[in-house]
């Protein structure tokens, strides 16, 4: 299907610079939604199981939750939201002939900001290990390390994807397929962001 995309399909400016933003189109290649929806489904199962377990021993979960550093969690939320915004701006730039030269730097900036997430997470984990907290400390921390660990793996993959996208965005005359690829990679990064927006309140804030 992706081979049949026209420039208008992926939202590239027409010659007169006129693009209808309401034009319906599925972002990225349709196939990538199998990956995105499938991944969201897996995490949803984990979220539900976590909440069920929490419901069974609320005291233990509540007590252990106090050891989490909410400030670092909030900083990481800001980091991912900023990075997501930069990717969205980069896509806009890539679509417009006038600002296309900004697309690649914006994507590199998104990767740079996004990599801060890993740094902050490393500090957070270090804090836990220094306090003698490991995945086997109790049930809450098993879930904490599993959920954040799986998410961190997604962040790392996402950062590699962003670096690939930044290279794609350097092309002066990107094809419709390039833009669809960029959209797909961007959607993956937004999904990583979305997952964190659920994980953060679920682990750090829910009382």
Partner 1 sequence: MNPYQVTATAKTQRIFVSCTPVFFVAYGLAFILGAGFVPPPTPSLSAVEIAQIWTDRAAGIRVAGLVLCLVCPFIMPIFVVMFIQMRRIEGRWSPWAYLQFSMATILIAEFVVAAIIIMGLAYYPDVDPDIVKALNSVIWMDLVGITGTALFQWMAMALCILMDKRPDPIFPRWYGYLCLWVALGVCGGTFAVLFKAGPLSWDGITMWMLLKVIAGQEADELAEVTGTADRNGFVTSIDLQRGRA
Structure tokens at 188: 């993956």
Nearest to 146 by CA among 173, 131, 132, 137: 137
Which residues in this chain contact partner 1 in the complex, by CB under 8 A?
2-3, 29-35, 38-39, 42, 45-46, 49, 53, 135-136, 139, 142-143, 145-146, 149-150, 153-154, 157
Task: Note whether 207 and 68 are within 8 A (CB).
Answer: no
Q: Pick the closer one to partner 1 by CB: 88 or 150.
A: 150
Q: Pick the closer one to partner 1 by CB: 106 or 193.
A: 193
Contacts of 155 (CB under 8 A, 6+ apart): 114, 117, 118, 121, 192
Q: Pick the closer one to partner 1 by CB: 32 or 80.
A: 32
**Burial (CB count <10 Å: 0-12, 13-18, 19+), residue 174:** buried
Shortest Å distance, C-beta 153 to partner 1: 7
Please report, in angstroms and rounded to a whole number, the separation of the first and last CA atoms in the chain: 46
Q: Pick the closer one to partner 1 by CB: 57 or 69.
A: 57
Shortest Å distance, C-beta 84 to partner 1: 20
CA distance 144 to 42: 16
Task: Note whether 178 and 171 are within 8 A (CB).
Answer: yes
Shortest Å distance, C-beta 15 to partner 1: 26
Shortest Å distance, C-beta 148 to partner 1: 12
Q: Pick the closer one to partner 1 by CB: 71 or 146.
A: 146
Shortest Å distance, C-beta 160 to partner 1: 12
């Amino acid at each position: 299907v992706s081979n049949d995309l026209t420039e208008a399909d992926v939202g590239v400016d027409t010659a007169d610079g006129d693009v209808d933003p309401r034009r319906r189109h599925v972002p990225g290649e349709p196939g990538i939604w199998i990956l995105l929806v499938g991944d969201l489904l897996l995490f949803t199962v984990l979220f539900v199981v976590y909440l069920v377990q929490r419901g069974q021993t609320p005291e233990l979960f509540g007590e252990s939750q106090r050891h989490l550093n909410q400030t670092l969690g909030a900083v990481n939320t800001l980091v991912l939201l900023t990075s997501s915004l930069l990717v969205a701006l980069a896509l806009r730039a890539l679509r417009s002939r006038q600002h296309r030269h900004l697309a690649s730097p914006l994507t590199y900036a998104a990767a740079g900001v996004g990599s801060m997430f890993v740094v902050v997470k490393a500090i957070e984990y270090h804090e836990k290990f220094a306090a003698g907290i490991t995945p086997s400390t109790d049930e809450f921390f098993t879930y904490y390390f599993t959920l954040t660990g799986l998410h961190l793996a997604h962040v790392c993959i996402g950062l590699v994807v962003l670096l690939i996208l930044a290279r794609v965005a350097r092309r002066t005359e990107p094809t419709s397929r390039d833009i669809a690829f960029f959209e797909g990679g961007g959607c993956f990064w937004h999904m990583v962001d979305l997952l964190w927006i659920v994980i953060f309140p679920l682990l750090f804030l829910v009382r």
